[in-house]
Each structure stands twice: as C-alpha cells, then as structure tokens.
Amino acid sequence: MARQKIAAGNWKMNTSHSDGYFLAEALTKAKRPSDVQTIMAVPYTHLGAVQALTFDKKNISVAAQNFHHEEKGAYTGEISINMLSSMHIPYAIIGHSERREYQKESNSLLATKLNLALSKNITPIFCCGEKLPIRKSKRHVSFVKKQLQQGLFHLSKSEIKNVIIAYEPVWAIGTGETASPAQAQEMHAAIRKMLADKYGQAIADDISILYGGSVKPANAKSLFGQPDVDGGLVGGASLDAPGFLEVINSF
C-alpha cells in the first residue's frame, strides 16, 4: 500500500480569526491533488470555523496544535483531548520542538499524550528532531532514536499504524536554513529503519514520515522527491494560500 502523501501546515500563533478563516476557505476551495492529504493545524480559536469548512471535504482537514496531558481538571487556559474529540477534530500535533523547548515537554509526557489521542481516535502527528550541537556532534540519529524509544515505541503494532511522524531538524526551523534533500532522506530512512526494527518492515513502510524544517515552494519538490520523505510539516509558508498550494502540488 502506498504511503499517504501529506502537506500539513502549522500556523502556530498567527492569523486573526477572520484572516485564518479566509486562508482556510481559500485552501478548501482551491484545486488540490486528490492523492495528497492537506492538514491545517490552526490556533484553538479557529478550530470550530475551520472544522466547519472542511468536515465534509475530501483530502483537507483541520488539526489542533496541542492539548493537555490530563483529560480534565483545574488547568486554566488549557484544552483537553475530550474537547477536541467532541468537535471531531481528526488530527493533533504532539511534541513540536517549540513545545519541547518552551514548555519543557518530556518524552514520557508525550507518550501520555499519544495514548490520549489514540484513545479518542485522533491521529497524532508526533514530532522528533535535534538541535544544531547534536547534529554537529553527529549524534542526531541516536538522539532521535531515544525520542522515539521513550515517546513512541510503547505503542502496539495496531496503534503505531495510526501515527504520523514529523522529523524536525530544530536547527532549520525559522532560521531559513534547510536540511539538504540528502540530509532529510538520511534521517527519514534512519527513522523508518527504527520503525522496522521495532514493528517490522511492512508496518514501517506504511507510516508517513514528514519533514518539518523551513519547507517552502522553492525546496518542496526536491524534498518530497526523496524516497522516505512523505510530505512536510510546513510553518511560515503555510500562511500564504498560493505559496502553500505550491507546496501541496510539489509531490
């Protein structure tokens, strides 16, 4: 079975409610390739509106950027997995590098979040990746392996099939730097081998692994052309409808 091609846009803390709506509307109405799943990870304030735009459309969906690790409770300002589930949100990002950095989210905490998402039939987009010093010391493969072992590999064979992985070279996020297609392929192939060693080659071959490091129209085609790169987790370029559509059409 061919792996799902995915173009996921992470809007982060950007766009007003109206600007976000018009951006989502433009992407929803645009002609897009039928074999590419487009995902918009929008701010919490936009989830209802964007879900209403996309819930009956093919190959375009909404995602949450995060949720709390407890199902309910006295956590002012937080969003629970049950809230997302009640809105029928199909995807959620888990462990983005900015959450790991600024909110100090640990691998064990992310494992808890994975369990919650899967229990509610929400597909997790699980992020992993290394900072520049780790890359320069050539420890990037072992570092990412530890992230997967501690945060992801507790899942069963049936559960892991429902996870999307996003590799983020943290040194390339928001810096204008991008891993070369060869560097991206190296890490994606290494991650797929880790999956194969744990779950078997057949399962590893079916899991989509996205590249998330300054993907833009100029480099998307060369990145997505690599055999183990199944799409992108796109930041700034996803905030411009024409530009993001170029990325979506780059496969």
Q: What is the pLDDT of residues 8-40, one digit of tens each?
A: 999 999 999 999 999 999 999 999 999 999 999
pLDDT at residue 1 tops 70:
no
- Rounded mean pLDDT of 161-180? 86
* Whole-angstrom distance, CA of residue 61 vs CA of residue 156: 26
Element (H, E) at 164: strand 164-167
Count other Cβ atoms within 10 Å, centred on residue 3: 14
Give the closest residue to 114 by CA, choosing from 67, 166, 63, 76: 67
Fold of 6-248: TIM Barrel (3.20.20)
Return the residue matching tokens 């055999």: 227
Q: For the chain, what are the domain ranges?
A: 6-248
pTM above 0.75, yes or no: yes
The average pLDDT across 55-67 equals 97
Give the tokens for residue 92.
Answer: 């959620």
Is 140 marked active-site? no
46, 96, 140, 188: the catalytic one is 96
* Residue of 98, 105, 130, 168 marked active site: 168
- pLDDT band, residue 51 (cuts 50/70/90): very high
Residue 231 predicted with pLDDT over 90: yes
pLDDT for 214 equals: 87
Is 159 part of the annotated catalytic residue set? no
